Structures are given as structure tokens and as C-alpha cells.
Amino acid sequence: MLDTTRSHETPEGIELGIHIAGPVVRACAWAIDMLIRAGLYLLIAIPALFLGGLGFGLSMIILFLIEWFYPVYFELRQGATPGKRAMGLEVIHDDGTPVSWSASLIRNLLRTADFLPFLYATGLLSMLLNRNFQRLGDLAAGTLVVYRNEAVTRVEMPPVPARQPPRNLSRQERRTLLTFAERSPVLTVERRIELAEILSPLSGARGEQAVNRLHAYASWLAQGR
Amino acid sequence: MRQRAFEEQNRSNWERLHALLQDLDRPRRKRQLSAAERETFPALYRSLCNDYALACSRHYSPALEQELHRMVLWGHRHLYAGRSAGLWRLVRFIAYGFPLALRRNQAYFWVACLLFLLPGLLLGVFCYQQPELIYSVMSESQVTQMESMYDPGNRNTGRLPERSAETDMMMFGHYISNNIGIGFRTFAGGMLFGLGSVLLLLFNGVFIGAVAGHLTRIGYHETFWPFVSGHGSFELTAIVICGASGLILGHALIAPGQRTRLQSLKRRAREALQLVMGAALMLLLAAFIEAFWSSSGVPAGLKYGVAALLWLLVALYLGLAGRGARGAG
């Protein structure tokens, strides 16, 4: 199974769908973060050179903080590091709630173990052996890296006068019709016709008219006469 | 009920909830809605969950389902979010949370202590007796470097002579990043079934013991011991505590008991984190003492006196703090 959607049942009895992120997209996010961190190091190290011992001491402290707490800071502030945000990812607990202090600290302190023996080899192995793509730090902290839920603009169904389908449809069939009507605006005309003609035996029409007929059925299903 | 009618009936509720969620997303100070309005959130959220479940079971259109699901996820986050940590929690953690957590996990502390002290004492005694032994622990250049750091002729004890112009501040930065980094790595080593932590403890014990034994043998004890005795109280104890936190992880993985390995790891990691964060704070203090006190030119007698006080302080804090506190921080 290559399905990367997991569900978590909430106390309200709702199944939350959580979309897990895999190793490749996380590696990209990490690379972006690495660049940002390298930039920060340079930004701090260059002025520090001119400050002598004091500047060196301060820059060591800041570098130490960036090395260990850069991910923690951003995960607590906005749920993800800038790199993860750029890739549309975020870190959450395995019950769907935002990541907490302790979980964020655990997963980021254990990064060292994941990094061993080189370039996150252990972490990658752990991710590949685990159905939720968790590295060791994620396992110990109970966190998941998931795709952020972007706001989707809802497409309106085509405004067509409603028409009752010629026979009783099953739930699955009704849903198929609704899906078709909602997806129509993003399909090309040819593809729309091609799909609609699969149902010619039901609608008894071909070409553009088949499309309209299906839209009319969908409209009837959604709002009645 | 048809989808359109259902949407019309509930749309106003969803819009109210949407406005609330947008408000909750803002930082605490910038929120616009009143507390009374915010109190309607749980009820609104639960009615949304109800609507979403209905939309799913009645097979309304996927777009509606998606829209509601997104709102459910969003609300779930806010309703079940943990409380964010404040400064007050840090104070409570230092005052009694940390010592209590350590005492709950005493066994690990003592095991880590043994793993650190035994090789340290052994190597210390051996290096004190046998001049060549130090070279099997570290390389020749490391030995000369270390000797020059504690040479009684060196004005800046504990630092390389050629770096003596640099300020205490610089060494403070160095100690922080080096020592706390070692502490964190010792903790992370616990994920390798505890092996990493055990090895780092043994290695640190051997290294520190060998250095101490060797320097005492060649007669540098007058510079070495006053220098290390003060900050050693916090530093050595903290390294042992970091080792103990790694051992907790290792133990959770090797012997999970009635739980699955994963469950036991998740449960014990919270406990181990308290130890390692407490130890990191101790290392921060140790770095401060090492950079600004240990290296100062105060007479050895006074340094020993302060060192004794510091050791007593560490023992009292870890052993007694928070005895009367109810619940852990």
C-alpha cells in the first residue's frame, strides 16, 4: 500500500485524515533549512571577527543556540521550520494536535542519533521501516511530519436547471455524479465530454449535451427540483 | 435532507466558527473577539463535528466534505492544544521539577555515576603510577597541549598559552557550546539501546581520569586541582545526569515491560528530557563558573573553599529540593 493518509479518531468520533510526508520532501526541507542556517552563521561570524574575544564568545553561544534550537524555536512558533513551511509541511503530535515544548525538544535533541553514522542514515532507515515515516526522534517524541492543510477554494457547481436522474442511483453513483460536477470546471472540454460519454447509456446523450445532462442530475441530487 | 438545504441551515454556524478560528490563530495580545464569544468555541466545534459526520454518512459532495474536514482539523488543533510553557514553568522546573525527576530516576543516576567514576578512578591511579600510560589514551600532541594548559608557569591556567590574550567571554562561549553539546549527545546516544550513552560516559571517565592522574604525577596539581574543583561540581554531576537520561531511553528500548517498545520509549522520553534539560542548565552554570571564577587568580585555598561549598550546594539541591512539593513540575 502506498497510501500515505492516516486517520486519527478524535473524542468527537470523527476520523481526522492526516497526510504524512515522506523522506524526499523532508530532505528538501532540511536542505533549505541548512542554507538558511549557513546564511545565519555567516551573518553572525563575519561581524564577530572584528570584535575579538568578546565577539568570538558571543558568536559561539549564538551558533550553539542555532545548532540545537533553531528547529525548536520555529516549531513552537509556527509549527514548522522555514524549510518545512516552504515545502508545505508541519510537525504535529500523532493525535493531530500542535507540537508541544517537550515533544519538539525531544525530537530535535535526538537528531544526533538520527544523523549517525553520516547524513541521517539512521533516520532514513527508521523512516523506511516505519509506516508513518518517523525518524528516531519522531518515534520518541510521538510526532509526525505532515502536509499542511491548505485552504481550498470551493468550486461552484455549474448552474444548470436540475433534472431528475432516470432511475434510482446508489450512494456511490450519486457521489460519482457530484464529484464529476464539482471537478468539471478544472477539466478541459474534451476530457469532460470523454468522461460524460461513459455514462451515455444512463443519460442517453452524447457530446456537450451528455455533460450538461450529468450536471443537471448532480444539481438535482444536491438541491432537488 | 438535500445538500443545499443542509448547507443553508448550518452555514451561519460554520461562518461563526471560521471567524473564531481565525481569531484564535492570532497571537494572544492581538485577539479581537471577547472572552464570551470565545467560550462558544467548544460547542460550535462539536456541532461542526456533527455536521461533518452527517455530510460523510449522507454522501454529500466531496468538496463540502473537504471544506468541513479542513475546519475540523483546524478546530481540533485549537481545542486540544497543550498549554504553552511560560517563564513560571521554568522557575518551577528549576525549583523542584528537576530534582524531583532526578530522584524518581535515582537508579539510573547511580549506574551512570559508576560508569563514569570507575574507569575515571582506575585510569587516574594507573596514570599516576605509570608515566607512559597517558599516551595510550591520547596522542602526543594532545598531551603536550594539556600539559601547557596547566603549566604553573602559564599565567592563564586551563587555557593554551598562545590563546591567553583572549577574554573570559570567549572561553565562556566555548565551554557552553562544547559541554552542553556533549551533554545533548550523551542523551541522544541513549537511542542506540543505551550504548551511545554508556560509551560516552566511559570515554569521558577515562579521559578525565587519565588527565587528572597524569597532571598530578608530573607535579601540576597546584594549578590543576584548584582550577577544576569549582566548576567540576556542576559539570561532572551534569554529565552523569545526561548519561542517566540516555540510560533511561536505552532501558525503555531494551526492557519495555508490559508496553510495546514504542509506547515505552514515548513514555520514558518525557522523563529523560527533564533530566537532560536540567543538566543543560547546570552545564550553563558550570561554564559560567569555569570561565569567570576557575580561571581567576584567586589563591588556591579560597578556590578549594568555594569548591567545597559548590559541591555541597549541588548535593543539597539535587538531594533535597522539592521534598514538600506536591506533584511534579
* Per-domain residue ranges of chain B: 3-79, 87-320
Q: Is A162 helix (H, G, I), strand (E, B) or coil?
A: coil
Three cell numbers at A40?
545565519
Q: Are residues A71 and A180 in the same domain?
A: no
Residues A80 and A181 in one domain: no
Mark whether A138 and A187 lie in a shared domain. Answer: no
> Helix axis angle, A23-49 relative to A52-78, nearest 10°?
150
Whether A161 is in a domain gets the answer no
8 Å CB contact between A147 and A18: no
Residue range of the domain that includes A190: 171-223
Q: What is the pLDDT of residue B37?
A: 84
Residue A155 lies in a domain: no
Does residue A67 belong to any structural domain of this protein? yes
A99-121 pLDDT, tens digit each: 998 999 999 999 999 998 888 99
Q: What angle do CA A44, A50, A51 make, to 5 degrees?
A: 85
Name the pLDDT band for B328 (thresholds 50, 70, 90): very low
In this prediction the ipTM stands at 0.88
> Which positions in chain B touch A48 (Cβ < 8 Å)?
none
pLDDT of residue A12: 86
Express each pLDDT in A51-65 by its tens digit: 777 788 888 899 999
CA-based nearest distance A218→chain B, Å: 9
Question: What's the structural domain count of chain A?
Answer: 2
Is A78 within 8 Å of chain B by CB?
no
DSSP 3-state assignment of A8? strand
Judged by DSSP in three states, A146 sits in: strand
**Phi/psi at A97 (nearest 5 deg)?**
-90, 160
Asked if A97 has any chain B CB less than 8 Å from its own CB, the reply is yes
B296 touches chain A (CB under 8 A): no
The grid coordinates listed for A26 are 523532508
Average pLDDT in the B88-95 region? Answer: 90
Residue A19 lies in a domain: yes
Cβ–Cβ contact B267 with A under 8 A: no
Residues A216 and A114 in one domain: no
Size of interface A-B (CB pairs under 8 A): 165
Q: Are residues A177 and A92 in the same domain?
A: no
| Amino acid, single-letter form, for residue B193 | F
Q: Does B156 score more than 70 pLDDT?
A: no
- Give the model confidence (pLDDT) of A126-155 as tens digits: 999 988 999 999 999 999 999 987 777 777
Tell me, yes or no, whether A162 lies in a domain.
Answer: no
Of A117, A136, A73, A21, the residue nearest B266 (C-alpha): A136
Alpha-carbon gap, residue B22 to B208, rounded angstroms: 56
Residue type for position A91: V
Extract the C-alpha cell encoding A204.
442517453
With respect to residue A16, please indicate whether it lies within any of the assigned structural domains: yes
Residue position matching grid coordinates 560516552: B200
Same-domain status, A107 and A185: no
* A141 and A187 inside one domain: no
- Contact flag A140-B269 (C-beta cutoff 8 Å): yes
- Residue A223 CA to residue B6 CA, distance in Å, equals 9
Q: What's the predicted TM-score (pTM) here?
A: 0.87
Is B173's CB within 8 Å of A57's CB?
A: yes
Same domain flag for A110 and A55: yes
